[in-house]
Amino acid sequence: MELNLDSEVLKAYGYTKENIVITQIGTGLINRTYLLSPPAEEKKYILQNINTSVFKSPQAIADNLKAIADYLKENYPDYLFVKPIATQNGEEMAIVNNEYWRMLPYVANTVSLDVLTEPQQAYEAAKQFGKLSRLLNNFDASILKPTIPGFHDLALRFEQFTLALSTTTESLQSQAKPQIDDALEHKYILDYFKSYSHRVDFPDRVMHHDTKISNVLLNAQSFEGVCVIDLDTIMPGKFISDLGDMMRTYLCAFSENETDLDKIKIRLPYFEAMIKGYLSEMKTILTETEKELILFSGKYIVYMQALRFLTDFLNGNNYYSISYPAQNLDRTKNQFELLQELSRNEKELQDIIEENLV
């Protein structure tokens, strides 16, 4: 198969199509990704095209990663931070035909998972995301630039929902009435967050913002956590962004595309493993307010995602890829069911949190 890869991109890193083996890899939905294997070298590399329809300012990504990499190199030189390799000209990225590319070292003897199959995997992933946050605890998050402005801003997502509600067709509004009612009834989650947002012990931290299991590399034999990858969304945020996204994606055996709502159940062993892994790194640096909001972080992110799916449905499915017209509405139902599960299991979940905070 002919790969759609401009030879000028390879040239920027000192290679040609004749002296390197190129394989397209990855299941990511955003960036095109290739594995580069130079026969004359032991090392391999990852070459990635940055999707500028999602990331409007690739330079912000490059600047953020350089600042963090420099800080970690100075303060924690043994930590594996998978930062981009400079081009032949010393640039952070290669720009070819208005496309942005970056090369990363390939981390040998590791695997990434698309699906969690046992609690220990949730522990290892949560520990890795927690470790990165802990190491960056004293890093000045304010110097980082938002790579997707408003990405986890629930107030913005609610505003977008209300705008969609006021402009959608009567037919779509009628079809989604139960979910619209759910969205309005759960607005208390946004109000609750606002009541905490100005507390001095609720700081902005350096957050990954996309903590699904596939964004952690595990040792191929032991399945111990090795490092965090897919760093485009590293930017300032509240701790709830990372922990809440883990809850949304780790706790149920089925994704947001599952239409049988009876299958949407929280797996308590996975929750316990995730909390243990995260708090093994973060317990000593979380503030009292953050500790109070651990379980709330899941509600915040799940509600936000439900709003995003519902908004897209009301807008005519312009953002998320769908395979049938009502898929975003079904995803909305799925997320509201997961939100109910968090509430139904609240006492047991909170007990697990309290045990691990001791």
pLDDT in tens, 213-223: 999 999 999 99
Question: Distance between CA 190 and CA 304 in Å, rounded?
Answer: 9
Q: What is the residue-averaged pLDDT of the chain?
A: 94
Residue 97 tokens read as 């035909």
Question: Distance between CA 128 and CA 144 in Å, rounded?
Answer: 21
Give CATH 3.30.200.20 domain extents, the chain.
7-106
Give CATH 3.90.1200.10 domain extents, the chain.
119-357
Say which amino acid occupies 270: Y
Question: Distance between CA 32 and CA 8 in Å, rounded?
Answer: 16
The model's pLDDT over 267-323, given as tens digits with 9 standing for 90+, comes to 999 999 999 999 999 999 999 999 999 999 999 999 999 999 999 999 999 989 999
Strand partners, 99: 96
Q: How confident is the model at residue 30 (pLDDT cuts 50, 70, 90)?
A: low
The model's pLDDT over 57-104, given as tens digits with 9 standing for 90+, comes to 999 999 999 999 999 999 999 999 999 999 999 999 999 999 999 999
Lowest mean pLDDT among 51-60, 70-79, 113-122, 159-168: 51-60
**Candidates 3.40.960.10, 3.60.110.10, 3.90.1200.10, 3.40.50.300; correct CATH number of 119-357?**
3.90.1200.10
Q: How confident is the model at residue 2 (pLDDT cuts 50, 70, 90)?
A: very low
**Candidates 3.30.300.30, 3.30.70.3040, 3.40.50.720, 3.30.200.20; correct CATH number of 7-106?**
3.30.200.20
Which H, E and C letters describe 173-189, residue by residue? HHHCHHHHHHHHHCCHH
- pLDDT, average across residues 247-266: 97
